[in-house]
Amino acid sequence: MGLRIHFVVDPHGWCCMGLIVFVWLYNIIIIPKIVLFPHYEEGHIPGILIIIFYGISIFCLVALVRASITDPGRLPENPKIPHGEREFWELCNKCNLMRPKRSHHCSRCGHCVRRMDHHCPWINNCVGEDNHWLFLQLCFYTELLTCYALMFAFCHYYYFLPLKKRNLDLFVVRHELAIMRLAAFMGITMWIGITGLFYTQLIGIITDTTSIEKMSNCCEEISRPRKPWQQTFSEVFGTRWKILWFIPFRQRQPLRIPYHFANHV
């Protein structure tokens, strides 16, 4: 499947995504400048910790960008319905187009999305069948990066040896306490929010239920776990190779499972 670019024109979404990028930039600039590089130069930490920090940061940014611009599963105006699956399609009462069951019409984007979970302003895009795996990676790497940054901020004051070489002419050194307090505040806020979101996403995949289905509370059968968790995760990530679930650089190849199987098995 080729990469399909999807761009949502929404100023509110742009502001939310810009805030996320600001927090990301703030941490990857401040934490290395104040904590990682000074302690590495004085031999307090190995260089591999810096490499891991930047590696997680890159994976997080790639997942964010790709989740934002990847087509979440927008349905074409004239979809080709397999002859044996017509009974598992329905008419959308908002755009008057045929769509597979478990699809949903996004009022903000103005079209139907296959297996839509929700519209996320933080990525300025819907979370649907084709980019849900990227959204999960974004949650995972954001959680990991936040914990990693908070751990280094804590160790900088309470575990590492005091720095001997400090250039007080640098702005970040003179105002270190205020800068680190702001970084800690953003990190804790981000960690609390992303932990709750990531947990609900994992539960939704395990139970094979989207966020919209949970809120509508109209699909009791869908809310019951019917498949092994390995199968539901494989369907979301498009592969049964678990190591590939953590790689945001690849192209997702959806498992060819009929819509009626996803709805009735």
Q: Does the pLDDT at position 45 exceed 70?
A: yes
State residue 11's pLDDT score.
Answer: 85
Cα–Cα distance for residue pair 49/45, rounded to 1 Å: 7
DSSP label of 84: G
Task: Return the SS3 of 111.
Answer: strand
State residue 256's pLDDT score.
Answer: 57
- Position 108 in a domain: no
Q: Which of 71-85, 106-120, 222-236 has the lowest mean pLDDT?
A: 222-236
pLDDT 10s digits, 53-69: 999 999 999 999 999 99
Q: Which is nearest to 70 in space by CA: 58, 78, 62, 60?
A: 62
* DSSP per residue, 214-246: HHHT--TTTTS--S-HHHHHHHHHT-S-GGGGG
Cα–Cα distance for residue pair 97/110, rounded to 1 Å: 12
- Position 82 in a domain: no
Q: With cut-offs at 50, 70 and 90, classify the pLDDT of residue 263.
A: very low
Sequence-ordered list of residues with C-beta below 8 angstroms from that of 8, at least 6 positions apart, any chain: 108, 109, 124, 125
- Position 179 in a domain: yes
- Position 77 in a domain: no
Highest mean pLDDT among 120-124, 135-139, 256-260: 135-139
State residue 223's pLDDT score.
Answer: 46
pLDDT 10s digits, 172-222: 777 888 888 999 999 999 999 999 999 999 999 998 889 988 887 655 544
Q: Domain range holding 151?
A: 12-71+125-158+168-213+226-263
Q: With cut-offs at 50, 70 and 90, classify the pLDDT of residue 264.
A: very low
The residues that are catalytic are 120
Number of domains in the chain: 1
Cα–Cα distance for residue pair 147/153, rounded to 1 Å: 10
- Position 111 in a domain: no
Q: Where are the beta strands (DSSP E) in the chain?
A: 89-91, 98-100, 104-106, 111-113, 118-120, 125-127
Give me the phi and psi of 74, to 5 degrees please. -65, 135
Mean pLDDT of the chain: 86
- Position 19 in a domain: yes
Which amino acid type is present at position 36? L
Q: What percent of the chain has pLDDT over 70?
A: 90
> Is 263:222 a contact under the CB 8 Å cutoff?
yes
State residue 1's pLDDT score.
Answer: 46
State residue 25's pLDDT score.
Answer: 94
State residue 261's pLDDT score.
Answer: 41
pLDDT 10s digits, 65-92: 999 999 998 888 777 787 777 788 888 8
Q: What mean pLDDT comes out for the span 224-236? A: 82
- Position 219 in a domain: no
pLDDT 10s digits, 133-169: 999 999 999 999 999 999 999 998 888 888 887 766 6
Query: SS3 breakdown of the chain: % helix, strand, coil, rounded to 5?
Result: 55, 10, 35
Token duo for residue 223: 């809310």
- Position 3 in a domain: no
